[in-house]
Amino acid sequence: MGVDLKTEYLGLQLRNPLVAGASPLTASLANLKALDDAGIGAIVLPSLFEEQIVHEESQVGGLGDIGAESYGEALGYFPPMDNYNTGTDHYLELVRSASESLSTPVIASLNGTTDRGWVRYAKCLEEAGATALELNIYLLATDAAVTGAEIEERCLNVVRAVRAEISLPLAVKIGPFFSSIANMARRFEEAGANGLVVFNRFLQPDIDLESLTVVPGLELSHSFESRLPMRWLAILRDQVKCSLAATTGIYSVEDVIKQILCGADAVMLASLLLRHGPDAVAGLQRRLSAWLEENEYRGVRQMRGSMSLAKVPDPSAYERANYVKNLVAYSGPHI
């Protein structure tokens, strides 16, 4: 008899906890179908970025203005474009066709910049047929005059505003840089989040030494990065009731298992899929079943959170001591 891989995430029944996280891979319907066929538990589409849409809209709007009505011989420089698409249409179409053609739940993802934008696009995504919505909150607090409390309130307001307008299950993808992550997690839950995705992996820019310019630093995650969500899942698991999903650095079945043990209802795969394609899903699933079977678990639900902060014999292992121990345990060539 096989083990039960089923799990519940944002109130949705998933056939297994493996979720394709938001990445360029999930932007094409062909890839989505392949993931579905490979048995993925759910799919998160890449984020719809309000900033980019507005930028494109204003660029399109500005097109007709380039040099327009300035000189009598040339009142404009471009033909009128009636069927111009600034990105929203394509994205909504992807949501629509994915929702219609896939058996697995389709979670749309949104990155807004204005209160109005968050709500407007959230509604569009709901109307387009998304099963759930992931709010990709990315607020870089660069202004020394803005306090942490203000930033926190802004983040919470986004969730409250969207929650008030749509009825879809809501996940919030949060960053690891709040002073009190556990407190924020609880407040997000209170604001209406049905789940939290830990953590948003902010892409850090790089410097090109040849041109001395700042360039986008696009690098896929590494396995060791999965430790951060793991620890926090363990901490959060017993303090919030909402779903939890792990993301970042999940490559092997071992990574998957550890996240679930700590408390993840779902485990997001992105870099792995970008490197190895949708085919990687089937192997991971097989190995997960094998491990569960070998270790005599009935299924994912049984294992989930069984090593959370409250359930490990030595909770401090997740806490500060962890740090000291690490240093001590390290023995390299210079020690």
Partner 1 sequence: MARRFLSLDGNEAAARMAHRTNEVIAIYPITPSSPMGEHSDAWSAQGQKNIWGAVPEVVEMQSEGGASGAVHGALQGGALTTTFTASQGLLLMIPNMYKIAGELTSTVFHVAARALATHALSIFGDHTDVMATRSTGWAMLASASVQESQDFALIAQAATLRARVPFLHFFDGFRTSHELNKIEVIDDDVIRAMIDEEAVRAHRLRGLSPEHPVLRGTAQNPDVFFQAREAVNAYYPATVEIVKEEMARFAQLTGRDYHPFDYAGAPDAEQVVVLMGSGCGAVKEAVERLLSEGQKVGMLTVRLYRPFSAEDLIAALPSTVRRVAALDRTKEPGCEGEPLYLDLVSAFGRRWKDLQGTELPEVFGGRYGLGSKEFTPAMVKGIFDELSTDSPRHGFTVGIVDDVTHTSLDWDPTWSTEKDDVTRCMFYGLGADGTVGANKNSAKIIGGNTDLYAQGYFVYDSKKSGSVTISHLRFGPRPIDSTYLINHANFIAVHQYNFVEKMDVLEAAIDGGIFLLNSPYSKDEVWQHLPARVRAEIARRKLRFYVIDAGAVAEAAGMGGRINTVMQACFFALSEILPRDEAVDQIKTAIDKTYGKRGRAIVEKNWAAVDAAIENLHEVSVPSETVEVADEALALVGADAPDFVQKVTSVMMAGKGDLLPVSAMPVDGTFPTDTARYEKRSVAREIPVWDGDICIQCAICAFVCPHTAIRMKAFAPAAAQAGPASFDTQTWRGKELPDHEMRIQVAPDDCTGCGVCVDVCPAFSKEDRSHKAINMVPKLDHLETEQKNFDYFLSIEELDRTEVKLDTVKGSQLLQPLFEFSGACAGCGETPYIKLLTQLFGDRIVVANATGCSSIYGGNLPTTPWTKNAQGRGPAWSNSLFEDNAEFGMGMRLATDHQLRYATQLLAEVGVSDSEIRALLECDQSTEEGIRAQRARLDALREKLSGRDEDEVKALLGILDVLGRRGVWIIGGDGWAYDIGYGGLDHVLASGRNVNILVLDTEVYSNTGGQASKATPMGAVAKFAASGKPSGKKDLGMIAMAYGNVYVAQVAIGANQRQTLKTLLEAESYDGPSLIIAYSSCIAHGIDMTTSMSHQKEAVNSGYWPLYRFDPRHGETDHLPFQLDSKKPKIAYREFASKEARFAMLERSDPEAYAHLMKLAQAGIDERWHLY
Binding residues for partner 1 (CB under 8 A)? 50, 53-54, 56-61, 63, 65-86, 88, 116-117, 120, 212
Closer to partner 1 by CB, 58 or 180: give it. 58
Nearest distance in Å: CB 28, partner 1: 12
Report d(CA 19, CA 262) in Å as an integer: 17
Closer to partner 1 by CB, 30 or 149: give it. 30
Closer to partner 1 by CB, 59 or 179: give it. 59
Nearest distance in Å: CB 93, partner 1: 11
Closer to partner 1 by CB, 79 or 313: give it. 79
Nearest distance in Å: CB 297, partner 1: 47
Closer to partner 1 by CB, 107 or 162: give it. 162
Quote the Cα angle for 47-274-215, to 5°. 65
> How far does CA 41 lie from the centroid of its chain?
15
Nearest distance in Å: CB 334, partner 1: 34
Report d(CA 49, CA 91) in Å as an integer: 10
Closer to partner 1 by CB, 57 or 254: give it. 57
Report d(CA 96, CA 90) in Å as an integer: 10
Nearest distance in Å: CB 122, partner 1: 13
Report d(CA 77, CA 162) in Å as an integer: 40
Half-sphere exposure of residue 135, counting CA atoms within 13 Å on the CB side? 37
The pair phi, psi for residue 118, each rounded to 5°, is -55, -50
Nearest distance in Å: CB 52, partner 1: 11
Cβ atoms of 209 and 222 closer than 8 Å? no
Closer to partner 1 by CB, 78 or 180: give it. 78
> How far does CA 207 lie from the centroid of its chain?
26
Nearest distance in Å: CB 211, partner 1: 10
Residue 260: closest CA among 293, 220, 221, 229: 229
Listing DSSP states for 173-199 in one string gives: EE-S--S-HHHHHHHHHHHT-SEEEE-
The DSSP H or E segment spanning 13 is strand 12-14
